[in-house]
Amino acid sequence: MFLLAYSGFAHEQEIQTKQQLQVHGFLSQGYIKTTKNNVFGHSNNSGSLDFREIGLTASLRPLPKLQFSGQLLHRRAGKGGGGIHIDFGFLDYNLINTPSGEFGIRLGRMKNPLGFYNDTRDVPFTRPSILLPQSIYFDRTRNLALASDSVHFYGESRTDWGNVSIQLGTGFPQVDDSNTDVSILGSTQYPGKLRPRLSYLGRILYELPDGRFRLAISSTQLNVGYNPGQNDILESGSFKFSPLIFSAQYNAEHWSVTSEYALRYTRRHGFGLPQFDKSTTGESFYLQGIYRFPANWEAVLRYDLLFANRKDRNGKKFAAHTGYSQPAHSQYAKDLTIGLRWNITPAIMLSTEYHRVHGTAWLSPLDNPDITRTKRNWNLFAAQISYRF
């Protein structure tokens, strides 16, 4: 009788565990002060408080192999953000899960597995700095590469010599924002609409069992179409964005070194205007070091390079082609970053950082509508306080 009662109790506890709803969240408020150029609002004068992130995450596991996860996000980042939207929301069916490996499928809106940080970039506590390396993780076009409505297959093999994980997927990117309009079309004034087309993505990651050493290769082919509007001077064109990212990281007890290199191929075709139909290959690289001090302090030092066209690194050919209506420094950016973080408690974090930037390639045109007035050499100071529960 005791065994039967215990068995029933254990079964009831198992059901309760499976059905348990977990809710977490975070919020952060940032301050940005720049010289000469604007980042996340009018930061060039007295600074900008238009950098805010609020997220609410929930997960439910009704069955041992099935889990539902979702996150609502409000993100204010100058003129390029605002409102509440579904950051991600998907179901995860884990078909196989053993000590030696796992395999499963996810369906819904998911973060694109690009590089080391794209999966978790919206949570301040998971970022190495307030601003991620802009050569790889653009904030000016974040929605396009951030997430897709897609289906992903994932698997992992675990051995004594290391773990190998693979994630492959196909779906439709997010293109319904003004930053994407400006990045692809150069303006928000065209009457037509960008439409997502079937796209593809994948990442292969290797790491030692203790996480000390990590290597990854990730890529995607993001396809976007254009539907002309009434009295539109543009035709039904297409846009393709295909970055190839190589990532490496070494983690010791008190310090970490991370580096990523990317080739970014873009192609616009069929818009009916000569200045629209072109293809380029950009280049990105950063080297970053983090040191963890006692008493929950962390310091970050990073050098970040971005070239819009690897065959025109100084932007002079681009400037000449536009009749010097657009400056050469809009085609590159070299960013030296120094930052300090204090984890006051496990739930509260205070971060500060300073950027010395040469070039303006990752500035948002929405915050800097007159590109001819941007300055080549400029500084950025950022501070952020974050809370999670």
pLDDT for residue 7: 38
The tokens of 101 are what? 């490996």
Residues 6+ away with beta carbon under 8 Å from 86: 70, 71, 72, 73, 109
Q: What is residue 19's predicted lDDT score, i.e. its pLDDT? A: 62
DSSP states along 78-97: GGG--SEEEEEEEEEEEEEE
What does the alpha-carbon distance between residue 299 and residue 336 come to, in Å, rounded to a whole number?
14
Closest CA to 49 of 28, 32, 27: 32
How does DSSP assign 164-205, residue by residue?
EEEEEEEEEE---SHHHHHHHHS-S--SSEEEEEEEEEEEEE
Q: Which amino acid is at 151?
A: V
- pTM of the entire predicted model: 0.91
Contact 122, 53 (CB under 8 A): yes
Enumerate domains of the chain plus CATH numbers.
90-388 (2.40.160)
Query: Which H or E element spans position 113?
Result: none
C-alpha–C-alpha distance, residues 16 and 237, integer Å: 53
For residues 222-248, one letter each, b for 16 or more C-beta atoms within 10 angstroms of the residue's C-beta and e for the rest, the string is bbbbbebeeeeebeebebbbbbebbbe
Tokens of 109: 């809106």
Distances, alpha carbon 60 to alpha carbons 9, 99, 389, in Å: 21, 23, 17
CA atoms within 13 A on the CB side of 149: 8
Q: How many CB atoms lie within 10 A of CB 325?
A: 9
- 243 close to 285: Cβ distance less than 8 angstroms: no
What pLDDT does residue 5 have?
33
Q: What is the pLDDT along the chain (389 residues), one digit of tens a residue?
A: 323 333 343 344 444 445 689 999 999 999 999 998 999 999 998 899 999 999 999 999 999 999 999 999 999 998 877 789 999 999 999 999 999 999 999 999 999 999 999 999 999 999 999 999 999 999 988 888 999 999 999 999 999 999 999 999 999 999 988 888 888 888 888 899 999 999 999 999 999 999 999 999 999 999 999 999 998 999 999 999 999 999 999 999 999 999 999 999 999 999 988 878 889 999 999 999 999 998 899 999 999 999 999 999 999 998 888 877 889 999 999 999 999 999 999 999 999 999 999 999 999 999 998 888 999 999 999 999 999 99
